[in-house]
Structure 1
Amino acid sequence: MTIQTREVAYFDGDVRLLGFLAWDDAIAEPMPAVLISHMWGGRETFVCTKAEALAAQGYVGFALDLFGDARLGSGREENTRLIQPFLEDRALLQRRMLLALDTLRGQEMVDNNRVAAIGYCFGGLCVLDLARTGADLNGVVSFHGLLKPPENTQGNRIRAKVLVLHGHDDPMAPVEDVVALERELTEAGADWQVHAYGQTMHAFTNPIANDPDFGTVYNPVADRRSWVAMQNFLEEIFTTS
């Protein structure tokens, strides 16, 4: 096993986006691929490490870039400014997600018939929006994602299978948002699952999250359980889809 990595530039008009690609070059045949959508701080080390971890499991991992030039926020205030245009214009968010998906499918080592997307926090919202567009991919996984729907996807059929990994005590996605999402996914004809972890807040997979007043707290048990749930989901969708 030799994990290779490289940055991949792709464009939304004049905006240069820089994704991070990881794969095992000892595998000769085309591999299933996983798009990874970052948190509100940008395409940080966290998601690049996830791409490498997925590559070690035989997938192609691709950490996308929504902000351009792999820009990173410096803290809560700047991070909020970075994601605000995408929260206000979900069509922009969806276009950037579809561009990243097309870029991943354009890599020579990818099996285009076996592609999924995962996302964390803000990135969880992003992969759910990708599914909401009706995009043709095998599945999406949201880790402690934001759940509120956009206004431009009503009536779409969701073709991707959906796995939502959620902290029950997440103040950024309260129970009523979970129930509304379940109703939305059902009406869209989706094959969906929601796993809720008790005594668990937002950002439970992020080891540096330690702000209970803000609602972000790392939970190593939920982190481990959610990663195993994702692995099982990927194995299922890439074997049976």
Structure 2
Amino acid sequence: MSVQSREVEYFDGAVRMVGFVAFPEAPAPRPAVLVAHMWGGREAFVCDKAKALAELGYVGFALDLYGEARVGSGPEENARLMQPFLEDRALLQRRMQLALAAVRRLEMVDKERVAAIGFCFGGLCVLDLARTGADVRGVVSFHGLLKPPGNTQGNRISAKVLVLHGHDDPMVPVEDVVALERELTEAGADWQVHVYGHTMHAFTNPRANDPSLGTVYHPVAERRSWLAMRNFLEEIFSS
């Protein structure tokens, strides 16, 4: 399937965000999938995921949390870029809502059929989008951080939730997984958690190769998780 792509501006006040949209050359409107980036920013990794989603027949939209499509140069700068959003989850949630509004404005998008996926930090972002009660069909977290934000207690979660997690992820202990399951149940969510054995953090990222940090690419888990996402999207967009 032939795919087109372009950048899309949207704003948080004076802060300019630059998303990347990929879409099939086929009759519109089509379901859309937001793609939330890792701590390094709107890198090629998430733009490639947006293109892969377009090849599946969706509109893929790699969002920009940091503004100006800023990308960190390495772990130290990545952490500096991400930290304000971990400290201010309301800011994170607002940026996610703005990205959702931006994708709904696109002429090729079926505004009633939108989902979101995210990787690592982006997994936390899409879970927070669901936690706000956002009107999206579903969210998928790939090796995401799971800690609750502290400002969404009592909210109902209407989005279906799929969490794809490596059992040996040192950044997300089993206790966090159990706590998330309890949180989603109490919020009335339709949820699934897929746990991959012998799998660490960042298992979908071919550049992850630091066992001491707990970030290791796992091609089998990557393949299984992408297939799980495909099945999930087919289900939530079918009605």
TM-score class, shorter: over 0.9
Which residues in structure 2 correspond to 1:134-213 (within 5 Å)?
134-213=133-212
Name the structure 1 match of 2:99: 100
Aligned match of 2:24: 24
- Structure 2 distance, partners of 1:75, 1:2, is 34
Shift of 1:28: 1.1
What are the superposed Cα offsets for residues 140-198 of structure 1, whole Å, 9 maximum, x if unpaired? 00000000000100000000000000000001111000000000000000000000000
Partner of 2:11: 11
SS at match of 1:140: strand
| Counterpart Cα distance in 2 of 1:79 and 1:103 | 25
Give the structure 2 partner of residue 61 of structure 1: 60
Letter in 2 for 1:100: A
Q: State the TM-score, normalized to the length of structure 1.
A: 0.98
Q: Separation in 1 of the partners of 2:9 and 2:138?
A: 24
Residues 108-119 of structure 1 correspond to what in structure 2 (within 5 A)?
108-119=107-118
Aligned pair count reads 239
Note the residue ranges of structure 1 that are not aligned, 5 or more in a row.
Answer: none
Partner Cα distance (1:151, 1:174) in 2: 19
Offset, 1:29: 2.8
Q: Identity across aligned pairs (percent)?
A: 78
Tell me, what secondary structure is at the counterpart of 1:134? coil
Aligned partner of residue 133 in structure 2, secondary structure:
coil
Specify the code of the residue in structure 1 equivalent to 2:20. Answer: F
* Counterpart in the other structure of 1:231: 230
Q: CA deviation at 1:47?
A: 0.3
* 3-state SS in 1 of match to 2:152: coil
- Quote the Cα distance in structure 2 between the aligned partners of 1:236 and 1:36: 18
Inter-partner Cα distance in structure 1 for 2:110 and 2:154 = 29
CA distance in 1, matches of 2:28, 2:4: 15
Shift of 1:238: 0.3
- Give SS of 1:33's match: strand
- The alpha carbon displacement at 1:113 in A equals 1.0
Aligned-residue CA RMSD (Å): 0.5
Amino acid at match of 1:13: G
Q: Secondary structure at the match of 1:17?
A: strand
1:129-149 alpha-carbon deviations (Å, 9 max, x no partner): 000000000000000000000
TM-score, normalised to structure 2, is 0.99
Q: Are positions 1:131 and 2:130 aligned together?
A: yes
Superposed CA deviations along residues 201-229 of structure 1, whole A, max 9, x for unmatched, are: 00000001000000000000000000000
Distance (whole Å) between structure 1 residues aligned to residue 176 and residue 79 of structure 2: 21
CA distance in 1, matches of 2:12, 2:171: 29
- Counterpart-to-counterpart distance in 1, 2:200 and 2:64: 26
Question: Where does the alignment leave 5 or more consecutive residues of structure 2 unmatched?
Answer: none
Which position in structure 2 is the counterpart of 1:80?
79
